Structure 1
Amino acid sequence: VLRFLGGLQHSKRTMMLSLSNLDLDDIPTVTYRLTHLTGLDLSDNGLRRVSGRLFSLIRMQDINLSNNYIGAIPPSVGKLTNLRALNLSRNCLRDLPVEL
């Protein structure tokens, strides 16, 4: 998976990326370099946290983080002014940032 993602980091055509059901416990670092992404599916993994770096991908419109173990969303989610959909269902969220 990491080798595949490394090859995508210079692609300006990759707009949607599905990393669902890969048993990830963290978001691969190279994902944060895919600045042209508008959609990201990280559902059905083992994620426990979400780095604020994810929300530096300012073109992002759709993010699916469902069915993980995420306990909190960082306030930097407010940077995503183009965000249309954020699926956080089936997680361990205790509260949501006011930026949402």
Structure 2
Amino acid sequence: MFTDGKNVKVFLYPLKGFLNLGVIPIDRKYNITQDIKFTIPRLRVGLDEAFIKYQPHKTNSELMYWIPKEQLTVQNITEVFNYILNNVKKIFEQFEEK
């Protein structure tokens, strides 16, 4: 795990045939009250769907995105990282219950 200047915790962990990228915002508590599957339209890498895991026992929910091992290149990982880190606030706000 590591944090970046965008107020998120980033987790990388291998799963069977995938690299899971997990992102938990630490800038504030987002009002996410259920698990949410959604499409990240601009990425050509990884699976079509991302997932926000509702975690009431933690400080925030976690956005998860999976990259298949066949697509693991520095360029592909960088593309996913850049998109998610630059859009994490917008993604969470989109699904936040007001």
TM range (shorter): under 0.3
Of structures 1 and 2, the one scoring higher in RCO (CA 8 A, sep 6+) is: 2
TM-score by length of 1: 0.24
